[in-house]
Amino acid sequence: MMRAILFLLVVVSPAVAQKPLFQKGRQVLFDFRKERNTPPPKIPAATERMVLSKMFRRYLNDQNRCNPNFNAGNNSDYLAAARRAGEIVPVIATMATGSFTAAAQSQTLYVVWVSECNASHADAFGTKRVAIFSGQQLVADLDANFKGHIQLKTDLNSDGIDELLMSSADQHQGTIEEMATLVSFQNGRLRELHDFGLVIEDTCASLMAGSASKASVLYMEVNAPSGMPTLTTENYQAGCNRAKRWRLISRGKMQ
């Protein structure tokens, strides 16, 4: 059930991952108040097999084939042990096309949910990885630090190398939380350029007194056609009614 809930938060397909045009002054980079319901892209089965077989030496195609008695032994990192043993059921969650490791490239980036067998809520239901391909050649295979969703593709410093706004999500006791980070993959390494922290906190499903929706709007202050713009955040709150009336409550990282 949790994986189904989180999967609905995958909102970017290659068709909508756009680079903002240069325009001096403050611009909205991303507005988390807006509804996001774009379905995930359809990955052909042959493509998924090609991607996963180049990332993993062994893996399973069905959760029902997981070994319920798998033991990580003396390894304190259960997820790593499961990956080495092939006790994983990986899937491609989403993808984007662009130039990610260097300028003037034609590359495809896949976000893969590794789904280690028996990974719990405390394990975020498994690790997330980013695989970057040039054609059928795997050029980067990186741990995404549990960031499993792409919200935006952009090139903020106009160097011809795309960055991604990625997020992770969680739901517990009727509270939905989402965290966002701007990342780059230049030279085949994942680099966190800006950690926005918590960008959504929605307690409406908890039905507790004082429940509300909180969401961030991310801005960029552009002063020149090149160079990384200054990134800032404003946080808004609304009640749990269907027609939300947002009011500004703070600036900077959401507390």
| CA atoms 63, 66, 71, 77: torsion sign | negative
Enumerate residue ranges in the chain where pLDDT < 50.
1-17, 19
Instruction: Give whole-number Cα distances, 226 to 27, 169, 181, 192, 231, in Å.
Output: 15, 32, 21, 19, 15
| CA atoms 95, 150, 64, 58: torsion sign | positive
The DSSP element (H or E) to which 189 belongs, if any, is: none
Please state, in angstroms and rounded to a whole number, the distance separating the CA atoms of residues 156 and 226. Answer: 8
CB 219 within 8 A of CB 29: yes
Give me the pLDDT at residue 223, please: 80
- DSSP SS3 for 227: coil
Please state, in angstroms and rounded to a whole number, the distance separating the CA atoms of residues 82 and 77. Answer: 9
- The domain total for the chain is 1
Give me the residue label for tokens 């028996």. 118
CA 84 to chain centre: 24
The DSSP element (H or E) to which 216 belongs, if any, is: strand 213-222
Count how many residues are written for the chain. 255
CB atoms inside a 10 Å sphere around CB 47: 16
Give me the pLDDT at residue 81, please: 94
Query: Which range of residues forms the domain containing residue 189?
Result: 2-251
Give me the pLDDT at residue 14, please: 40
Rounded to 5 degrees, what are φ and ψ at 30? -160, 140
**Alpha-carbon radius of gyration of the chain:** 19
Give me the pLDDT at residue 226, please: 73
Which tens digit of pLDDT belongs to each residue from 98-138?
999 999 999 999 999 999 999 999 899 999 999 999 999 99
Please state, in angstroms and rounded to a whole number, the distance separating the CA atoms of residues 232 and 39. Answer: 28
Token pair listed for 92: 């491609």
The pairing of strands 213-222 and 163-172 is: unpaired
Give me the pLDDT at residue 21, please: 52
Please state, in angstroms and rounded to a whole number, the distance separating the CA atoms of residues 88 and 152. Answer: 28
Instruction: Give whole-number Cα distances, 33 to 55, 64, 148, 250, in Å.
Output: 35, 38, 20, 14
Instruction: Give whole-number Cα distances, 216 to 16, 132, 165, 225, 233, in Å.
Output: 20, 29, 14, 26, 6
